């Protein structure tokens, strides 16, 4: 029977609620496959599982529960093994690697930060900082709004200025925050946000990081910043490669 795998952890750290359930409808009971000191949190895989929001959240809920007492290596959503035996085999064959990764992530959590512009605030900034655009805007307003072509031309100028600020602010966010983290990874939604970054933080550095986020938001009120964390270290399960190292 196919086995859905949620996470790898130390066997002794796991203390899952007895009624914990995971993906599927009905949600399948979660259990543990152990091999020596290592364990995988698993469940029977429902047939035809797809990445629906309900199941994604169930996945996260189980990984969170697994992480309550110690470090975990969260699996990507939808990882399926042929059976429990195949899971045990993977725990066995790469046992040293799993132990090393769990030690490396001990006491650390992922914090994901997303940044977008407050649209009106950034346009306001453009008008205040770019006299040329301000002049065009003033002229059009005086003329009662301008023609369709006038509006397009103004809008295009503003868009270019906003675009430049997106790049500038992306660098600013990373520069102000990366120093607090042991590692930084670009989030998968990089295209949808001005900045989408994940930071690996200890309990101590998390406090400093959140303070720095506060300061950033205060000093740059046109930025809308959202932090999610602490999270299981999805973005840091494997050692950082050279290309993924924080660009400080």
Considering the rule CB under 8 A, would residue 180 count as an interface residue with other proteins?
no
Distance from C-alpha of 215 to C-alpha of 209, rounded to nearest angstrom: 10
Q: Which residues pair with 116 in a beta bridge?
A: 224
**CB of 247: closest distance to other proteins in angstroms?**
19
**CB of 228: closest distance to other proteins in angstroms?**
5
Considering the rule CB under 8 A, would residue 220 count as an interface residue with other proteins?
yes
**CB of 18: closest distance to other proteins in angstroms?**
19
**CB of 179: closest distance to other proteins in angstroms?**
18
* Binding residues for other proteins restricted to 19-48, rule: CB under 8 A: none
Q: Which is nearer to other proteins, 179 or 229 (CB)?
A: 229
* Of the candidate residues 1, 18, 19, 50, the single one contacting other proteins (CB under 8 A): 50
Helix (H, G, I), strand (E, B) or coil at 31: strand
* Of the candidate residues 29, 85, 100, 228, the single one contacting other proteins (CB under 8 A): 228
Residue 43, CA distances (Å) to 20, 38, 63, 100, 178 in order: 10, 17, 12, 25, 37
Distance from C-alpha of 225 to C-alpha of 50, rounded to nearest angstrom: 31
The contacts found for 77-84 with CB under 8 angstroms, 24 or more apart, are 77/51, 78/4, 78/49, 78/51, 79/4, 79/5, 80/2, 80/3, 80/4, 80/5, 80/45, 81/2, 81/3, 81/5, 81/42, 82/2, 82/3, 83/1, 83/2, 83/3, 84/3, 84/33, 84/42
Closest by CA position to 186, among listed 125, 136, 247, 134: 247
Considering the rule CB under 8 A, would residue 78 count as an interface residue with other proteins?
yes
Q: Which is nearer to other proteins, 37 or 64 (CB)?
A: 64
Considering the rule CB under 8 A, would residue 202 count as an interface residue with other proteins?
no
* Binding residues for other proteins restricted to 85-144, rule: CB under 8 A: 86, 89-90, 109-112, 114, 116-121, 123-125, 127-129, 133-134, 137-138, 140-141
* Of the candidate residues 12, 92, 100, 156, the single one contacting other proteins (CB under 8 A): 156
Considering the rule CB under 8 A, would residue 243 count as an interface residue with other proteins?
no
* Of the candidate residues 183, 193, 199, 246, the single one contacting other proteins (CB under 8 A): 193
**CB of 12: closest distance to other proteins in angstroms?**
17
**CB of 80: closest distance to other proteins in angstroms?**
5
Considering the rule CB under 8 A, would residue 225 count as an interface residue with other proteins?
yes
Q: Which is nearer to other proteins, 11 or 121 (CB)?
A: 121
């Amino acid at each position: 029977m196919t086995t859905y795998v949620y996470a790898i952890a130390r066997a002794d750290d796991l203390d899952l609620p007895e009624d914990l359930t995971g993906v599927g409808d009905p949600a399948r009971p979660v259990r543990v496959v152990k091999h020596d000191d290592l364990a995988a949190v698993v469940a029977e895989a429902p047939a035809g599982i797809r990445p629906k929001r309900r199941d994604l959240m169930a996945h996260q809920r189980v990984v969170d529960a697994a992480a309550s007492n110690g470090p975990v290596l969260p699996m990507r959503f939808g990882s399926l093994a042929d059976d429990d035996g195949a899971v045990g085999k993977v725990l066995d064959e790469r046992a040293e690697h799993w132990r090393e990764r769990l030690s490396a992530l001990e006491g650390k959590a992922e914090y994901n930060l997303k940044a977008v512009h407050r649209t009106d605030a950034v346009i306001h900034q453009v008008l205040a900082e770019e006299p040329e655009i301000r002049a065009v805007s003033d002229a059009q307003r005086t003329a009662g709004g301008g023609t369709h072509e006038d509006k397009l031309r103004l809008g295009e100028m503003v868009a270019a200025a906003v675009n430049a600020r997106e790049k500038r602010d992306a660098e600013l966010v990373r520069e102000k925050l990366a120093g607090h983290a042991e590692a930084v990874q670009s989030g998968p939604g990089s295209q949808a946000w001005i900045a989408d970054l994940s930071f690996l933080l200890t309990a101590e550095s998390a406090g400093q990081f959140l303070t720095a986020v506060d300061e950033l938001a205060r000093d740059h009120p046109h930025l809308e910043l959202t932090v999610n964390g602490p999270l299981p270290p999805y973005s840091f399960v494997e050692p950082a490669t050279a290309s993924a190292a924080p660009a400080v």
